[in-house]
Amino acid sequence: MSAVVRSDRKGGDFGWARAAWQQAGFGPVLLVLLLAVNIAVNPARFAPGAWGTLIGLAAPLIGAALASTPAILGGRGGIDISVGPLMGFINALIVLVLVQRLGIETPWIIVPAAVLIGAAVGAGNGVLATVLRIQPIVATLGTYLILIGITLTILPAPTGTVPAWLRALGGPLSILPLTAVFLAWIAIRRLPYYDHLMAVGSDDRAAYTAGIPVTLVRFLSYVITGAFAGVAALMMTALIGSADPSIGPTYTLMAISAVALGGVSLAGGRGGLLGAAIGAIDIFLLQSALTYFNLSTFVLQIAYGVVLVLAIVLTALHERLLGRAKETA
């Protein structure tokens, strides 16, 4: 903690770089490395003209990772494993109910609907995990199964199309929804709520004795997670251009890996959305590079596991080193 404060106070030329290093560990290093490899082997794909499509491809995973972060920051086992199925559920509702059945195509209804459904399910998770105090992984496992079940019931097979504006969000305009999430988070960071969340995540007993409404703060973190998952669902819908029950759930574990890769502590109270996004981009770039080398998906899976374990091990070793240096100083 004191290291972060120190770098802020100095605020030197590379203060932000040091802050990124402190927050995200090896995530940014990996990002630079993978980006260089990708640009070297496949310049056409990474040319500025193709950025829209590229970001559109990466967006659902980044969105899922961003969405997973607030609940984890709340600490004491806080986690939402229902983010992936929630994305699939919202995807099915938008395409099947709003677009196909009701014929609503305007973004002024679809976007708020996605965010509100997400926030509502998030509130449900929040009640289970913080008011009923069921262990978050079990509570959201329940929601996970319920959401997958409902999605498969109303949508047994992929179907449907999406309006043109939504498809554009998966291509040329793909940066918009991501920017929206980050702006929302920047706004949240300026509220006292953010400090409360980090305090609760670091030490909920101390936070409670300091008068912070621990239950409410944690509950709201699930609502934010749900609302962000709504945006991630929009990005996923934009990318696949239809309703597909099988894609959403695959994002859960990848998103949690991305969050850990980005230096967000699964114990809570440490990390942020920037780190989570970097972790998600790492995973995307890794997949992209390995796919380019035409390696089988099996190798991809091994590499993905190895990078995940190595990155968190290196981050832990680095932190340990920092801690020792501080003790001797």
Q: Which residues bind other proteins (CB under 8 A)?
A: 76-77, 79, 128, 132-135, 137-139, 141-153, 156, 204-205, 208-209, 214-215, 253, 256-257, 260, 265-267, 296-306, 308-309, 312-313, 316-317, 320
Report the alpha-carbon distance of residue 308 to residue 290 in Å, rounded.
15
Please give the C-alpha separations between residue 75 and each of 19, 30, 172, 269, 278, in angstroms, as whole numbers. Answer: 22, 26, 37, 6, 21
Q: Tell me, what amino acid is at 117?
A: I
Considering beta carbons, is residue 43 or 149 the nearer one to other proteins? 149
Please give the C-alpha separations between residue 49 and each of 143, 149, 172, in angstroms, as whole numbers. Answer: 40, 40, 9
Report the alpha-carbon distance of residue 99 to residue 110 in Å, rounded.
9
Considering beta carbons, is residue 76 or 196 the nearer one to other proteins? 76
- Give the tokens for residue 130: 């913080």
The distance of closest approach from Cβ of residue 72 to other proteins in the complex, given in angstroms and rounded to an integer, is 10
The distance of closest approach from Cβ of residue 215 to other proteins in the complex, given in angstroms and rounded to an integer, is 8
The distance of closest approach from Cβ of residue 144 to other proteins in the complex, given in angstroms and rounded to an integer, is 7
What are residue 243's DSSP bridge partners?
A: 159
Report the alpha-carbon distance of residue 320 to residue 19 in Å, rounded.
17
Residue 305's CB is within 10 A of a number of other CB atoms, namely 11
Token pair 């047994």: residue: 156
The distance of closest approach from Cβ of residue 39 to other proteins in the complex, given in angstroms and rounded to an integer, is 26
Considering beta carbons, is residue 135 or 242 the nearer one to other proteins? 135
- Give the tokens for residue 154: 């109303």
The distance of closest approach from Cβ of residue 194 to other proteins in the complex, given in angstroms and rounded to an integer, is 19
The distance of closest approach from Cβ of residue 293 to other proteins in the complex, given in angstroms and rounded to an integer, is 15
Considering beta carbons, is residue 6 or 326 the nearer one to other proteins? 326
Considering beta carbons, is residue 45 or 318 the nearer one to other proteins? 318
Considering beta carbons, is residue 6 or 205 the nearer one to other proteins? 205
Please give the C-alpha separations between residue 294 and each of 27, 30, 31, 112, in angstroms, as whole numbers. Answer: 24, 21, 21, 40
